[in-house]
Structures are given as C-alpha cells and as structure tokens.
A and B are shown apart, each in its own frame.
Chain A
C-alpha cells in the first residue's frame, strides 16, 4: 500500500521534475543533458514575444482575479440572506459554471461576444460624429478579462461561502444589536473574518486565469497569453526555452498555491 502510494507520487512528480531538470540543460538538444546552465532562462527573458505574452497574462490574471474576488464576495454575501428556489437555482448554476468544460465556455463566450459586437459596433458608428473614426469593439484583452472573471467568480463564491457558513451568526447579530448599520457590521465584523477566504479565492482565480489555455484560445483575438505562446511553440518543436518558461510558471503557481493553502488553513484554525 505504502509502496503503491509512493509510486503514484513518483508518477505525479517525475514529469514536473524532468521539465525542471532539462530547463537547466546547457545543450541545444532538448533530450540530452549536457551540463548545468541557466542560459535558457536568460533567452526566455530576453525574448520580446515571451515578455509580451507574460505581460498580457499577468494583466488579465490580475484584473480578472480582482473582479472575481469583489463580485464573487458580493454574490456570496448576497446569497446568504436568500433562501428557497432562487438560492437553489443559483447554487446549481455555480456548480454548472465549474462543471461545464472550458471549451464550451470558450466557444459560447466567443459567439456571444461576437454577436454583441456585431450589434453594438454599427450602433456606435451610427451615432459617432462624421469624419472621426468610430471605436470598434473587438476580441482582445477586454474579452479575456470578461471570460475569466465570469468563470473564476464561481470559485470565489464557493470558497467565501464555505467560510461564511462556518461563521458564528451571533457575531453579526451582536453587532446589529449594538446599533451598527448593516454596512458597518459588514465592514467591521464580516469582512475581517472572511478576508482570508477572499484572498484565497483571489489567488486561486489568479492561478486559474494565468494558467488557462482553452478559454483564452477562443476569446483572445489577436492577443497572445503565455499559455497560448507556449502551445504554439510546442507545435513547432520542443526546446529548452519552453522548459525554462514551463518551470518558471510551475514554480510561480506552486508558490501561490502554498500561500493559498496557508491562508485557508489559518482560517480553519481560527474557526476552531
């Protein structure tokens, strides 16, 4: 049993280890280790396409995770007070959002956005003053942010709600008995208590958005995110540069995940 578990862990971590090892390969060939070197990291960092893609990815991840954290928390807090069929429907939909494969979300968002653009663009052009080029809504960083926010909001709702339901009701009741306004209660009692969960939701949304390929592939338009860049370079062949990018991305997500875990665990402990 123990040996079996050990083997599964090996299965889970060897591929990651191999990528990390070969990212430090001095040789040009991706499949033969020829000594230690960090030159592929330098190559990746000085590649303008990589840096562009990284910037896009970071912007999208940061903005969409912020939106998701804010709106997700609002939704979770709002749902607290609601019972009955409305609540059940929302609960169902939140799980549906997580269960639907990314590819269907990608396609659906692509079609929906293009339909909206086709409708809105002529309207803007019609009301725009003569002679000035009207702005044209298009697929790009905006649509990426919108799609990621929509998808990751569900994550935030689930995490924040778990924390809210573990919260002692007496606290908010005491606060309102002591004449705090609902907003005051939220700001001074609820928010500090659920803050670790919001932050954890933010971090998870960030990693999700940063690592997402399939939704971005459909809605990015002419923008290139880091996963899209990596995907198209893999198609051209395996290089140590991709290993270096991959290792960096994995390391970054690992650090964020560990932070998230610590936040959630600390929350759990406080609760007890």
Chain B
C-alpha cells in the first residue's frame, strides 16, 4: 500500500518544484509548472481525442466477436477460441506494434492499395495508424469482460423473449444489450485508462507526428530531464483520468437505475 501511494505522492510534490540548472529537480512551492501546461496542449488534445475514439472502435469490433464466442460458438471450441483472443494480449505489445510498422509502411498495405489502382496513400505516422495499433493492441482486453457478461447471461431469457413474439433485433436491444452493460463498461474503462497513458503505439506508429501525453512524459523525464514540469504533466494526466473515470462511473450507474425504472413499469 505504501509502495503504491508513496510514489504518486512524490510525483505530486515534485510537480510544485522547479527545474534544476542541469535538469532534475529543485524543491520549491510554485504553480509555475502548471502554468506551463499549455505548452504540451497538443499531446493532451491528441490523447483526449484518440483515447475515446480508440475505445469506441475497440468496442465496436470486439462486441460482435464476444457475442459470437459466448452465444453462437460451438461449446467444444469456445475455450480454445477465447484463449486465442486473449493470448496476444500477454505477448509483447512492442513487437506487435512493430509488426504494424511493417504492414502499414511503404511496402506493406499502401503498396497493395497502389497496386489495385487506388493511388498512393500514406498510412504510417498518421492518426489512422495509431488507431489501428490501439484497436489491435487492446482488442483482447475489450473482448474478455464482454464475453464474461454475455456468457453468464441466462439463455432462457432470450428464448422467453422470442416466445413472447419479440423480433431478434428487439430481443437484442431490450434483453441482451442491457444485461451486458457491466461487461461493456468494464472493457471500456480498462481500455480507456490504459490508452490515456499509452506511449509505445504513438511512438512507433505515429512517428513523432501523432503523440500522446505519454510521449511528452518520456521526453520530459528522459530527454530534457525537466522533472518538475514532467511531474506536473503526469499529475494532470492522473487528475484527468480520475475525473473522466468518475463521470463515466456515474453515467453507467445512472444507466443501470434508469433500466430498473423501465422494468418496473
């Protein structure tokens, strides 16, 4: 417990300090570092735009797969198929992102598009490349919680709904979707939080053009050694994260209560 809280406190203390003459940190109490935050506005803006888009894209791609695994897949193969989705998540994200440099680079997919006759496109070092990397990297983390919530769902409810004359679409919207809200919420939360601190994917696939707060932090701590300002950026990031998570939790729980109201009627 001390091991976790202490480092975060130290970051907060450092963020009120000043930069030393040769880098590093000099103790002080000033808000100067926070006043400097606009200097890193682009990094914050990119993160705040691409993290939610990345989360939603992962959700849209992950949901049908989770549904297939939980409801439609042959029970004999279910476990194997699920493990096949999760395994990549535990392998090196560095090497998996590297694979996309390869695929999206000049001689990969763009060469293919050019060959079909759609003209030359640039994919690597664009927000699109970063987005592909994000979806690729975090898909397993999104699939798993949704799968669990769909798998636990009582299949008799679906039968009852169709017996009572509901169309498949109506059953899905009124029964399946509301019941797997917790799974969707968990998946989105996990992916969103990790995306807020992402460094590798923008560093490799954004090529210095599309950078996140994580990249700014690496730059500030390891290259320009401006620890005080870096700490202020880190503290702001954690603060934004806490705020968005709180708002998100509120929204989710309100969604839950509203659903109960409807069912009471």
B90 touches A104 (CB 8 A): no
B3 touches A4 (CB 8 A): no
A217 touches B105 (CB 8 A): no
Interface of chain A, helix or strand or loop or mixed? helix
Asked if A51 is at the interface of the complex by the 8 Å CB criterion, the answer is no
Report the 3 A-B pairs with minimum CB-CB distance, sorted nearest first: A101-B197, A108-B7, A15-B99
With A214-B200, A257-B87 already in contact, the answer to whether A11 and B136 are too (CB < 8 A) is yes
Q: A12-B140, A18-B102, A112-B10 are in contact. List 5 more A-B contacts (CB 8 A).
A: A5-B68, A12-B139, A101-B198, A111-B231, A254-B91
| Cα–Cα distance between A254 and B14 once the two chains are bound (Å) | 40
A19 touches B92 (CB 8 A): no
A11, A14, A31, A111 interface centre (most CB from chain B within 10 Å): A111
Give the number of chain B interface residues (Cβ < 8 Å). 63
Say how far B233's CB is from chain A's closest CB, in angstroms. 9
Contacts of A102 in B (CB 8 A): 197
A30 touches B102 (CB 8 A): yes
A-B contact pairs, 6 of them (CB 8 A): A31-B106, A111-B11, A211-B92, A218-B221, A227-B92, A254-B91
Residue-wise interface mask of B (210-234) relative to A, using a CB-CB cutoff of 8 A (1 in contact, 0 not): 0000100110011000010011001
Q: Which of B1, B139, B193, B194 contacts A89 (CB 8 A)?
A: B1
Q: How large is the interface on A (under 10, 10 to 19, 20 to 34, 35 or more residues)?
A: 35 or more
Shortest Cβ distance from B69 into A: residue: A5
Shortest Cβ distance from A213 into B: residue: B94
Shortest Cβ distance from B196 into A: residue: A101
Q: Which of A156-164, A178-186, A242-250 contacts B (4 or more CB under 8 A)?
A: A242-250
Q: Which of A12, A18, A89, A110 contacts B85 (CB 8 A)?
A: A12
Contacts of B87 in A (CB 8 A): 254, 257
Residues 203-223 of A contacting B (Cβ, < 8 Å): 204, 207-208, 211, 213-214, 217-218
Shortest Cβ distance from B99 into A: residue: A15
Asked if A132 is at the interface of the complex by the 8 Å CB criterion, the answer is no
Q: Which of B102, B197, B204 contacts A19 (CB 8 A)?
A: B102
Residue-wise interface mask of A (2-40) relative to B, using a CB-CB cutoff of 8 A (1 in contact, 0 not): 101100110111111011001000000011100000000
B6 touches A112 (CB 8 A): yes
| Cα–Cα distance between A231 and B201 once the two chains are bound (Å) | 11
Q: Which of A96, A97, A204, A230 contacts B95 (CB 8 A)?
A: A230
Contacts of B98 in A (CB 8 A): 19, 230, 234, 238, 242, 246
| Cα–Cα distance between A103 and B217 once the two chains are bound (Å) | 8
A250 touches B95 (CB 8 A): yes
